[in-house]
Amino acid sequence: MSELDRLRSQRIPGVRTVLVVLSAAGMVYDVEALRQKVLLAYPEAAVFFITTVGKPIGPAAPQNVDLLIDFTGPRQRQGLFFPKRFRRCARVAVGRDVGVFRKRIYDRVYDEGRNASKLPADTLARERIVQREVLKLAGIALVQSGDTPPDRGKVIATELPPYSKL
């Protein structure tokens, strides 16, 4: 319950347009799943997507947006002044603390360096955790789904009691 209250307090009022900068390392959610998650949090918003090099995916975003969600991570190709350009066009900017400018110019930043010991070494597992945290900073709730259990097909037969003869 406290997690939901914290997420509600993170919501940004008056969001009508959202620009999402996709990560080049790996995306945990596809474009339509991200659109659905953003629309559940901000039902009146129009969602636009752009790559780290600035190419739009789908319709082009307007010049000014209300919310910027930047998933660009460390060592990903992006222009030096892209974060400043994105920040100028957004009312509220949320992203990851990578590069030179983001910690100072973005409104809400997830610091990967401070949480590096908690993050796994696997790239996709790391992206999953970091992208969830960035979405939480943007006020977007995620439904937690369980991971698939390990395959026990060969072990189950050895754990069954022997058949009794009738």
Write down the pLDDT at residue 90. Answer: 87
- Does this model's pTM top 0.85? My answer is no
| Local mean pLDDT, 10-residue blocks, the chain (166 residues) | 69 89 79 88 90 84 89 73 79 81 78 76 82 88 61 76 65
Report pLDDT for 3.
67
Token couple for 118: 């908690």
What pLDDT sits at residue 46? 93
Strand duo 65-70 + 90-96: pairing: parallel
* Total Cβ atoms within 10 A of residue 31: 14
